[in-house]
Amino acid sequence: MYAIVEIAGQQFKVAKDQKVYVHRLPGEEGSKVTFDNVLLTDDNGTISIGAPAIEGAAVTAKILGHLKGDKVIVFKKKRRKGYRKKNGHRQALSEIQIESIATSGAKKSAKKEAAPKKEVASKKVAAPKKEVAPKAEVKEAATTDYSSMTVAQLKVAAKEAGIKGYTSLKKAELIEALTK
């Protein structure tokens, strides 16, 4: 009998009394660990496939020890540029021994429930819309303020008014063109 189980984000094919090196597991040496994410089991030719996991199936294992894997050297170089980087890595591992594979009757571990989402107010209050004055009123209000405007503001006003050649005019000429 064997099973394919997900342990610490990786999938392993395990059998009873098999020793496996996996990514570091939280837990003391000698403690028992249960993995309930069993993807496939084979019991003397009877294959059970989960979608994605088999309900009620679990694999129990004992942590034999914590250790580090072999050193891996990462060396990067770009020729003729003087760029060289050397880096090393040793993966933290746990050695586990599979004690049993249960195909049914295993209790699922209690998963953390997501925090309830904050309720968003279903009614949105629309902001009051500004009333737009007719263009004639806007021109009348703007005529009095031309002397205090900058040249850039006057050019924008001239562009909106549709005055041709406003880019080459001086401030006095812009004010005169806008007041007409």
Contact 24, 7 (CB under 8 A): no
The helix (run of H) or strand (run of E) holding residue 141 is helix 135-143
45-92 pLDDT per residue, tens: 899 999 899 999 999 999 999 999 999 999 999 999 999 999 999 999
Arithmetic mean of pLDDT over the chain: 84
Q: Encoding tokens for residue 122?
A: 């279903």
* pTM listed for this prediction: 0.54
Mean pLDDT of 113-133: 59
d(CA 81, CA 178): 62
Contact 5, 35 (CB under 8 A): yes
Instruction: Determine what percent of the chain falls in helix, strand and coil, rounding each to the nearest 5.
Output: 20, 40, 40
Whether residue 142 has pLDDT greater than 60: no
- Poorest-pLDDT segment among 46-50, 92-96, 106-110, 159-163: 106-110
